[in-house]
Amino acid sequence: MRAPYAAYPETSRGREFPQERAGARGPRSDFQRDRDRIIHSMSFRRLRSKTQVFIAPEGDHYRTRMTHSLEVAQIGRVIARSLGLDEDLTEALCLAHDLGHPPFGHAGEDALCEAMERHGGFDHNAQSLRTIMRIESPYPGHDGLNLTWDLLEGLAKHNGPIDAPNWALAELDAAFPLELTQWPSLEAQVAAVADDIAYDNHDIDDGLRAGFLALEDLLELDLLSDQWRAVERRYPNAPRDRLQRELVRDQIGLMVNDVITHTKAQLDGIASVEEVRGAGRQLSGFSPSFAAQERGLKEFMYAKLYYHSDQVTAAKRAHEVVAKLFEAYENDASLMPEEWQAKLAAENPQRARVIADFIAGMSDRFAIERCAAIYGERPNGLTNV
């Protein structure tokens, strides 16, 4: 049973390009169709070779943007089901939230931000919207995937209202207004916190596996040490690697339960999705006390994992690859595929923005290959595991 404050596909605000429901491919709701369009998109498939934490990892067991997105979707659905929200919309938002990330994660984004500084800048969240609304265009009748307003609204502001949208988001909002200054649906708020839960814990798992994190350091955090002692009591004779993975599972469960409990308390008196949007505050998230502990965990992860010396070294090399690609295409557009050359405007900023679109869609592997082909030398040491 869906709650009254859930988003309902039957009352969706529709799509930018109206479509007849007659002859729809299978008995699916509009939100299910959104999810399926995302899963079948090339942009989603490329996430399998895009950096999550470790750049161009050589091992098969480290997470990529795709496996991260799948894990976010699993967590999001659990929370949505417990709250009576629309699970399909929640899942679609979780699956789409990283589609705008360029190769090499934040190192690639920083390089594009620098390259695009004179042309309006670059932002991966706005790029996600640009990707699904304009760039990924498999349909003959319109640009983009033509997803519902509810999905686009949630994706645009899943981290909260936007008072000063950048050029990319402003253009899309002008074409299909998304009420950027209001809070989004609960489904979008759940997708945002599910993202936090997933990377908080799965990055611990990957960091331990890679040897960048030490369990002893992690246990200096009260949040983790309490859980570790409980795991040891339950399984006193289990191998340490299994206990570590059990710790991660327990942490996810602890966070999910906190979000569900806190969100239910916040929803007292909320009777519709429009009241959610008009509440003027975040309704779904961690409780204040748990949020403080979660911030401490993030600070630890930045210090010990994200800014680890090996990570910093690999990030510098990745940054150089993206910067060199942008410079090459800016100087010689014939290096780009013909279909992308056809999109290039004669003048900036539009010309530079198409180059950024092309690079942002690349996988780590493809970016490395193109850099090698253009400059005659494969980038060395471009991995941090």
Residue ranges per structural domain of the chain: 29-385
309 pLDDT above the threshold of 80: yes
248 pLDDT above the threshold of 80: yes
Per-residue model confidence as pLDDT tens digits over 99-115: 999 999 999 999 999 99
21 pLDDT above the threshold of 70: no
Residue with tokens 């960048």: 212
Per-residue model confidence as pLDDT tens digits over 72-93: 999 999 999 999 999 999 999 9
Mean pLDDT over 270-299 rounds to 97
Both tokens assigned to 375: 């400059």
Residue with tokens 């899942």: 91
d(C-alpha 343, C-alpha 353), whole Å: 10
Question: In degrees to the nearest 10, what's the CA dihedral of 372, 376, 381, 384?
Answer: -10
Mapping DSSP to helix (H, G, I), strand (E, B) and coil, where does residue 15 land? strand
d(C-alpha 308, C-alpha 384), whole Å: 10
23 pLDDT above the threshold of 70: no
Mapping DSSP to helix (H, G, I), strand (E, B) and coil, where does residue 17 land? coil
22 pLDDT above the threshold of 80: no
58 pLDDT above the threshold of 80: no
Helices (H), 40-162: 42-46, 65-83, 87-96, 105-115, 124-130, 149-156
pLDDT bin (cut points 50, 70, 90) of residue 217 is very high
pLDDT bin (cut points 50, 70, 90) of residue 57 is confident
Helices (H), 97-163: 105-115, 124-130, 149-156
pLDDT bin (cut points 50, 70, 90) of residue 1 is confident
| Contacts for 141 with CB less than 8 Å, ≥ 6 apart | 17
d(C-alpha 285, C-alpha 282), whole Å: 7
Task: Count CB-CB contacts under 10 A for residue 347.
Answer: 8
Mean pLDDT over 347-371 rounds to 97
Mapping DSSP to helix (H, G, I), strand (E, B) and coil, where does residue 86 land? coil
d(C-alpha 278, C-alpha 272), whole Å: 10
Asked if the peptide bond before residue 349 counts as cis, ω within 30 degrees of 0, the response is yes
11 pLDDT above the threshold of 80: yes
**Is the CB of residue 79 less than 8 Å from the CB of residue 187?**
no
Query: Packing angle between helix 309-331 and helix 105-115, nearest 10 degrees?
Result: 40
Average pLDDT, the chain: 95
Give strand pairing partners of 15: 148
CATH architecture of the domain with range 29-385: Orthogonal Bundle (1.10)
Give strand pairing partners of 295: none
Per-residue model confidence as pLDDT tens digits over 323-357: 999 999 999 999 999 999 999 999 999 999 999 99
Length of the chain: 385
Residue with tokens 């471009």: 382
pLDDT bin (cut points 50, 70, 90) of residue 60 is confident
Question: What pLDDT is stored for residue 384 in this prediction?
Answer: 65
**Is the CB of residue 382 less than 8 Å from the CB of residue 323?**
no
Nearest to 168 by CA among 252, 112, 231, 96: 112
Task: Count CB-CB contacts under 10 A for residue 161.
Answer: 15
**Is the CB of residue 76 less than 8 Å from the CB of residue 102?**
no
Which helix (H) or strand (E) segment is 329 a member of? Answer: helix 309-331
Which helix (H) or strand (E) segment is 181 a member of? Answer: none
Per-residue model confidence as pLDDT tens digits over 155-177: 999 899 999 999 999 999 999 99
Q: Give burial (CB, 10 Å; 0-12/13-18/19+) of 149.
A: middle
51 pLDDT above the threshold of 60: yes
d(C-alpha 185, C-alpha 83), whole Å: 13
282 pLDDT above the threshold of 70: yes
Beta strand segments in the chain, E: none
Mean pLDDT over 227-233 rounds to 96
First to last CA, the chain: 45
